């Protein structure tokens, strides 16, 4: 009986001549922290050669099967995150610069994650110094008192600094609540939007987009309401039915289009996986023309539920926009969960983005909105912890995300981001690896494409009570050729160049890429 790879090899041999590529770029984070998003330039090239026996695990790349393009990775710049980073800038400007560069620089080959997707609250959230909206004057339906500068100046200052590091920044606005005077609770904390303010609230959101634009921040997307099923009286929340959100979205779509903002995407739902088959499906059924798609959070349900929505609306975008770590949790257990469910998993289930919650906070996950019960217990952990003395440390959320981000960053300045492609894993230890595969296009059609895989080896025997890591000797099959690599327990990102399929038959070789050898 033929193996799946033998079938793939036979098809490949018919379709295109065979070339050898070389793995040129390796980034690695190991379970024991001996390597933390570390660049490992191989001492000699790892070549794709004539196939031999498969390894204990066998990764088969199918670059003919293409899925969604990836918009990027990142987190939320809450008031807390911005304040924390702004204070770091005042205390130690060198450390501030290092943090931003390491997190956000998209330069090809740089020692940096290239995070590029930032979610920004419109008004107060559970991580603000106090309650505020952008117009707190009761009954001001003309919005003569609307003021984008109600958002603290340090939010715009830090956002501007991030923008100066990464000109590919995508900004996604989202409100935690309408102004209190629009709600039946009379406050931003809890309650629902009054029906008479549906149209006014759409105008409020339009003005928020315009306000960011005037501040010099082009808006990529906007969500109508963060977590519309969440009604918490201790911080800004607002319950909102699919019909109400859909009506707001439809009105906002018209307002954006008529104000030269047709490129701004409207994202619906922005809540947990558990209701993927209900709320977002109902929203798209009636109001789909207004929305590019929906986004999900990790706090209830399974990432596989994203497939329920995708199967119902395969042409609609899926985003993953929020999850948070818990202070004091186990480092390696967290990394495994993030890769399995988020940075490989959510993309595997059609997400175009991967975001955590706070970009930055202190060692206790503070400061928070006074009186909130959000992030109770030990507290929520950010991507980077910043201490009062101006020191800082990156957390497992960052290192796991950085490994995935590296695989989809543009190769060329301003060039396209990566796109998910087909991949499968076989072999006796195939279960030990979780793999995502991506191709990144080029600015010039004659340049070779970059192919990347993100590999989690979780063969750690942790169920026995202690970690006894087992590396996995692996073969990587690509276009009828085979490379070998032994993956340590941890996360590894590998990349190589190859011609676009349309160029393979012509034997195109771009001298700016690694040398290749034609094999008979």
- Predicted local confidence at residue 2, as pLDDT: 39
Is 510 inside a domain boundary? no
Q: Are residues 449 and 367 in the same domain?
A: no
Pick the closest to residue 175 from 130, 119, 96, 98 (CA basis): 119
Residues 389 and 417 both lie in one domain: no
Residues 304 and 446 in one domain: no
- 183 and 263 fall within a common domain: yes
Q: How far apart are CA 369 and CA 129, in angstroms?
A: 5
The range of the structural domain enclosing residue 391 comes to 72-407
Last residue of a domain, one of 407, 430, 449: 407
Question: Domain check: are 403 and 417 in the same one?
Answer: no
Question: Can you tell me the distance from the alpha carbon of 323 to that of 356, in angstroms, rounded to the nearest whole number?
Answer: 5
224 with 371, same domain? yes
Could you give the number of structural domains in the chain?
A: 2
**Is residue 518 a part of any domain in this protein?**
no
Which letter, b or e, does each residue of 121-154 get, where b requires 16 or more Cβ atoms within 10 Å of its Cβ? bbbbbbbbeebbbbbbeeebeebeebebebbbeb
Instruction: Based on the fold, state whether residues 115 and 190 are members of the same structural domain.
Output: yes
* Domain CATH code at residue 361: 3.20.20.80
Q: Where does the pLDDT of residue 3 fall: very low under 50, low under 70, confident under 90, or very high at 90 and above?
A: very low
Rounded average pLDDT over 297-324: 98
R_g of the chain, CA atoms, integer Å: 24
| List of residues 6+ apart from 474 with CB closer than 8 A | 55, 56, 57, 58, 59, 427, 433, 455, 484, 485, 486, 487
Mean pLDDT of 246-265: 98
How much is the pLDDT for 465?
79
| More confident position, 367 or 8 | 367
Alpha helices in 178-227 (DSSP H): 198-214
Residues 235, 177: Cα–Cα separation, whole Å: 9
Q: Is residue 394 part of a domain?
A: yes
- Domain membership of residue 123 (yes or no) is yes
Whether residue 173 sits in one domain with residue 195: yes
Here the CATH number for the domain that contains residue 48 is: 2.60.40.1180
- pTM, to two decimals: 0.93
- How far is it, in rounded angstroms, from Cα 71 to Cα 117? 8
Q: How far apart are CA 67 and CA 55, in angstroms?
A: 27
Asked if the structure places residue 365 within a domain, the reply is yes
Last residue of a domain, one of 391, 407, 423: 407
Is there a domain that residue 429 lies in? yes
Q: Examine the fold and report which residue of 359, 387, 407 is the final residue of a domain before the chain moves on.
A: 407
Are residues 55 and 129 both part of a single domain? Answer: no
278 and 418 part of one domain: no
Q: Cα separation of 83 and 89, whole Å?
A: 10
Q: What is the mean pLDDT of residues 284-294?
A: 98
Are 78 and 53 found together in one domain?
no
Model confidence pLDDT, tens digit, residues 107-118: 999 999 999 999
Strand partners, 294: 268, 318
Place of tokens 């192919």: 451
Whole-Å CA distances, 187 to 105, 190, 232, 234, 464: 40, 7, 11, 10, 51
Give a yes or no: residue 492 inside a domain.
yes
117-133 tens-digit pLDDT:
999 999 999 999 999 99
Q: Please give the average per-residue pLDDT across 313-326, as a whole number.
A: 98
* pLDDT tens, residue by residue, 33-78: 999 999 998 888 899 999 999 999 999 999 999 999 999 999 999 9
Q: Which tokens go with 176?
A: 């935690």
In a domain, 376, yes or no: yes
- 145 & 276 share domain: yes
């Amino acid at each position: 009986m033929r193996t799946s790879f033998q079938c793939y090899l036979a098809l490949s041999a018919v379709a295109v001549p065979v070339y050898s590529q070389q793995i040129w770029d390796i980034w690695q984070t190991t379970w024991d922290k001996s390597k933390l998003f570390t660049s490992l330039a191989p001492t000699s090239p790892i070549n794709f050669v004539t196939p031999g026996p498969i390894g204990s695990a066998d990764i088969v790349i199918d670059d003919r099967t293409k899925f969604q393009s990836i918009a990027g990775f990142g987190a939320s710049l809450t008031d807390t995150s911005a304040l924390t980073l702004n204070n770091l800038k005042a205390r130690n400007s060198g450390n501030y610069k290092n943090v931003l560069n390491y997190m956000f620089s998209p330069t090809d080959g740089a020692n940096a994650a290239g995070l590029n997707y930032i979610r920004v609250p419109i008004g107060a959230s559970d991580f603000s110094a106090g309650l505020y909206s952008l117009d707190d004057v009761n009954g001001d339906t003309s919005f003569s008192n609307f003021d984008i500068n109600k958002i603290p100046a340090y939010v715009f200052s830090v956002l501007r600094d991030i923008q100066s590091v990464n000109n590919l920044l995508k900004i996604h606005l989202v409100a935690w609540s309408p102004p209190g005077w629009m709600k039946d609770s009379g406050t931003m904390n809890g309650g629902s939007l009054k029906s008479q303010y549906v149209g006014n609230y759409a105008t409020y959101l339009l003005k928020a987009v315009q306000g960011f634009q005037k501040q010099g921040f082009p808006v990529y997307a906007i969500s109508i309401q963060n977590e519309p099923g969440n009604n918490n009286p201790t911080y800004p929340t607002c319950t909102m039915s699919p019909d109400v959100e859909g009506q707001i979205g439809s009105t906002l779509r018209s307002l954006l289009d008529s104000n030269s903002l047709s490129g701004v995407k409207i994202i619906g739902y922005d809540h947990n996986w558990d209701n993927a088959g209900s709320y977002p499906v109902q929203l798209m059924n009636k109001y789909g023309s207004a929305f590019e798609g929906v986004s999900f959070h990790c706090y209830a349900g399974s990432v596989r539920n994203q497939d329920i929505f995708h199967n119902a609306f395969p042409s609609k975008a899926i985003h993953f926009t929020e999850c948070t770590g818990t202070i004091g949790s186990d480092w390696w257990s967290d990394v495994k969960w993030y890769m399995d469910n988020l940075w490989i998993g959510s993309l595997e289930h059609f997400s175009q983005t991967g975001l955590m919650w706070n970009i930055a906070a202190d060692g206790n996950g503070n400061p928070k909105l006074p009186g909130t019960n959000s992030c109770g217990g030990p507290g929520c952990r950010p991507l980077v912890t910043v201490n009062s003395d101006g020191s800082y440390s990156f957390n497992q959320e960052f290192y796991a995300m950085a490994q995935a981000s590296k695989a989809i960053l543009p190769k060329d300045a301003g060039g396209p981001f990566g796109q998910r492609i087909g991949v499968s894993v076989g072999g006796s230890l195939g279960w030990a690896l979780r793999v995502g595969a991506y191709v990144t296009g080029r600015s010039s059609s004659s340049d070779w494409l970059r192919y990347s895989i993100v590999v989690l080896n979780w063969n750690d025997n942790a169920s026995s009570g202690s970690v006894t890591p087992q590396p996995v000797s692996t073969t990587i099959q690509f276009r009828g050729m085979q490379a070998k690599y032994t993956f340590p327990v941890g996360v590894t990102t590998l990349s190589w160049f190859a011609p676009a399929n349309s160029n393979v038959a012509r034997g195109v070789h771009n001298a700016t890429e690694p040398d290749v050898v034609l094999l008979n």
